[in-house]
Structure 1
Amino acid sequence: MSVLVAIPARYASTRYPGKPLVSLKGPDGDKTLIRRSWEAAMAVAGVDRVVVATDDDRIRTHAESFGAEVVMTSPDAQNGTERCAEVAAKLPGFDVVVNLQGDAPLTPAWFVEDLVKGLIADPAADIATPVLRCDGRGLNGLLADRRAGRVGGTTAVFGAGMRGLYFSKEVIPFTGKTYADDEATPVFHHVGVYAYRPAALAAYPAWLVGPLEKLEGLEQLRFLENGRHVLCVEVQAKGRQFWELNNPSDVPVIEAMMAAMG
C-alpha cells in the first residue's frame, strides 16, 4: 500500500490569520507550526511521500526553506479535505491519502500509522479518522474552552464497528458528572487527521456543503451527510499529551506540553 501525506496549510485563517507561520518554542528551539507539523509527518513509518499543500507564497517559501516539498493548491478550497483532493489529483497513484492538518504538531506517529492500518483492514470504510478517549483532565479542558466561548477540540461519537455517527465542536455525549484528572471518561476527542480512499476523496469536492457541515464548520461531516462510511480508529496516548492549535491561547498550552515531553 502506497501512502501520501498531505499537510494543508492556509494563511488566511478566520480565527487565527497567519497560523502556520506562528513560532512555537520547544526544547529544540523555536520552530514554526508548519515546520513542526511537517516534522511530525516525516516521523510516520510506512509513508512514501509528504507534501505541504498551500495557496500562499509565504508558506511555500518558508516550507521550502526547511526542505519540505510543496504542492500549490487553489485559494478557493473550502477546507483541508478539498485541498488534499487537489493534491491527490496532481499526484495520482497512491492507495491511501492522509490529511495531517497543519495545526496538530503534537500528533504522534503511531496515530497516523494505526489510522492507515485501520482503513486498510476495513474495506467498507471510505475514510478513517482517529479518536482519543479523554481522561478527566482532557475533558475539563474541552469544557473550559466552551464555557469561555472558545472553539476548542472536536468530539466524536460512533456506533457498532466504530462507524462514526457524529462529530461536534460541542462536548458530546453529555455526561452530567465530574471526573478525576486521570479517570477515563466516555468522551472521545477527535484527532484532526484523516486517511482517505482516493475514490472517496475525489468525489468530495463535488458534493454540496450540507447543513451540518455549515453549522459545525467540520469538513468530515460532508462524508456523513452523503452516506459515506467514516471509520473511527481509537488510538492510545501512551503518556503523550495531545492538543491542537485552534486559538492564540493554545500556543502556551502546546509549548508547555512540548516542554513537559522534553
Structure 2
Amino acid sequence: MRTTYMSLLLICLPALAMADVFNISADRFPTRADYEAEIRRIFGPHHDLAEWRDVKARYAREGGGFLREAGMSPTGNNGPRNAALTVDGERFHRGGSRQYFLTWGDVHSGYLVHDRTSFNGIPLNLGSWTSDRHILAVAADDTTLTAQADGVTGAVLDTLSKGLISAGFGEGADAIKFVSGAAEISVAVKDRDPLATRQALADMVVSFMPVAVRGSTNILGLISEPVVQDGELKVKVTLPFRFLHTGNPRALDCGDENPRCKF
C-alpha cells in the first residue's frame, strides 16, 4: 500500500508544479524604506523582492498575465504600472539613491530606460528613481512552511484547516506544507469508505476554487488514494494557490486587518 501511495505522488506532483507567484503591495514606500521588512510584514516570511531578470525573462516568454494576477496594469487603470524590484540582487542603480523599478507599458521620452523587453508590442521597462514605489514581491522557491493544525495562523492556513478539513472530518490536518505555491495537506480520517473520503474532499475543494477553473480541473487528481498509517486512514490533498480563491494569491499571515487577504 505504501508503494502505491508514493507512486501516486511521483506522478501527480510534477504536473501540479507552478511558476513563481508574484504580489504587489497596495501602498507605496519611500526609497529608503526597509523593503525586506515591509515584504515580510505584508506578504509573510517566505517572500522576497522580485528580481528584474526573472521578471523580464518570464514576460518575454509568456506576456504580462502574471503581472496582472499580481495586481498590476499596463495602463494604470486597474492597478499600478510601476513597482520596485532588484537587478542582480541590488536595489539601487550603481549603489546610489535611485531605486530600480519596472514600468509595464509605454513610457515618456524622459524616462531613462536601463533595460527593456516586450510581448505583443507592449513593453516592459527597467528604470530607476527616488520616488515612492509599490513593491513587487515573489514567493520564495526554496522555502517550506509546515504548521500543525492546532497552531496555524493566517487567512490561507486558517481557511484550509478549519473550513476544508475540520468541517468535513473533525480530525484536522496533520501538517500543511506550502511549497512553491501549492499546499499539501495530510488528512487523518476514521471510519470512512476510501472512495467516499476522496469524493467528500473533492466536493469541499471545489468550494474553494474560482468558477472559471472548476469545470476544467480533475479534482480527484489532486487527492491521493487513502493509505493506512498509524491505524488511521490518510489521504493527501495537493492544492495550488490559484485553486483556493477568486482573488490574487496573498500573504500567508496577512491577518484580519488586510482586506486584500479575504476570500
Q: TM-score, normalised by structure 2?
A: 0.27
